[in-house]
Chain A
């Protein structure tokens, strides 16, 4: 089955700095790579995703890159704000049917 590794497990940045979270996956057939943000006491919420036919995708301060050859993908958050503090999960799947999540990264943005 799919195995997703995520690092770092914790990340502290100063407000305004950038944050990068990296993930690797094992199943070359995976074609969908979502990123979820989970705030305390809430369920995960999709913030951005990328498919295997795209190398990079950007949405305002958030971007995701995918290297299919190396089987790794990364989340980049620029100009971090205190409200970006949360746990971020990467995931890999073949569509919506079987999604494997990473262990999560706890991001702390220090004002």
Chain B
């Protein structure tokens, strides 16, 4: 079974430029999370989707961040414009319906963003 796929793995951009990250969750997983992980910190939730609905986006900085999951499968996270403080690893995770009986989150490898 394929795991959570994220692309690109690395991205370097100049500040004020836009950037987008893509995530394809494990097949059949209807819950999808985007996390931001700053250096030396734990993951912090940005947004959680149940199918195509964003059910928790309270931590998403909506002035510059946006996300979509149009068909309830893969998802895109966008930053426009990027700031120096956005440099971090952006992680995607997924969970089967109802938590799958274990509540285990399955993480992708992340996208490391560097803003210069």
Contact = CB atoms under 8 A, between A and B. Distances in A.
Interface of A: 4, 6, 32, 34, 36, 41-46, 49, 89, 91, 93, 95-99, 101-104
B109 A41 contact: yes
A6 to B, nearest CB: 8
Prevailing SS type, chain A contact patch: strand
Say which size band chain B's interface belongs to: 20 to 34
13 contacts: A32-B103, A34-B104, A41-B109, A43-B108, A43-B110, A44-B107, A91-B42, A95-B103, A96-B95, A98-B56, A102-B42, A103-B42, A104-B40
Contacts, number: 56
Interface of B: 4, 31, 40-45, 48, 56, 91, 93, 95, 99-100, 102-105, 107-110
